[in-house]
Structure 1
Amino acid sequence: MIAAIGLGGNLGDPPATMARALHLVDAWPGIRVRTVSRLYRTPPWGKTDQHWFHNACALVETGLDPHRLLEACLEIEHRLDRVRLDRWGPRTIDLDVLLHGDFSSDHADLIVPHPRMTERAFVMLPLAEIAPDAVVNLHSIADWADLVDSNGIETLSADGDWWLPGG
């Protein structure tokens, strides 16, 4: 099964923390990183009185069901010192399960496709690089990416190898 994970952070050294998160995801039993988007610098969303974020998306191949994938992401966040204080507030790392094959759920503990992702350029731009033809709410990710406001977003890497040694 192919799943999409969104990554972000704005405390400490976000690119280094995101790279570490990707290595931990790739080492997790039943998960392999297949493709990673370029790295972006993005203005804060929701709670705007904080440092800018770094964001990327990754496609992973997994044998884990969506709930187990979320548990893995939450454990990796914990290992990387994620503290949840304010909704949309500052964080060392955020790992979101955006898509999991054709799975769909609006259960309280797991909503997939991720809610509001189609409104967020910091998700749609990197996701459109690696999964442009994936469909959410009857529209392709590429189409959603064309609709979001991407003002202020900066591309920081030439490709998706930024998280690899020497990348």
Structure 2
Amino acid sequence: MGSQRFPPPALPHALALLLFIAACGSPFAEAPPVADSTLVSTLAELHLAEARLQNQQRGDADRAPPRRSSADSLTAPPLPPAVRDSILARHGLTNRQLRVALRYYVRHPEQYAALYGRVVDTLSAEREALRFENERSGEPPDGERAFPPAFRQNDARD
């Protein structure tokens, strides 16, 4: 019988390389299914549309019986599917792609928190721009002016 060395000379190097790769993060790490910038702008626009719907429902409260209980007042009304789909289409997404992206972030909560921080920053910047516009024009905010031009109902993109 010939003499065989155990372990083979390449094994320690292979193990060291494997440990190094594992410590640095996998080069095959799962990437978000939708670009962060696309998701941020999509989620911001969806939130603005939900806020618009909620404000319209408050304005209609004098003319129609409330459709929701006071316990529901902390939750946004669901967007009509046509509105949601229109917003998603403007951003090049389908409802399925949005669901897949959100499931990805459920598995990556740190990335989700960072992403939603950017959504909040976007909404805050829009609010500040609107506040500046209202102060400059001297007009108080009203139903249509309460939304930046990109989110107004009469927008040319609709």
Of Structure 1 and Structure 2, the greater helix share is in 2
**TM-score, normalised relative to structure 1:** 0.26
**Structure whose CA Rg is larger:** 2
Of Structure 1 and Structure 2, the greater strand share is in 1
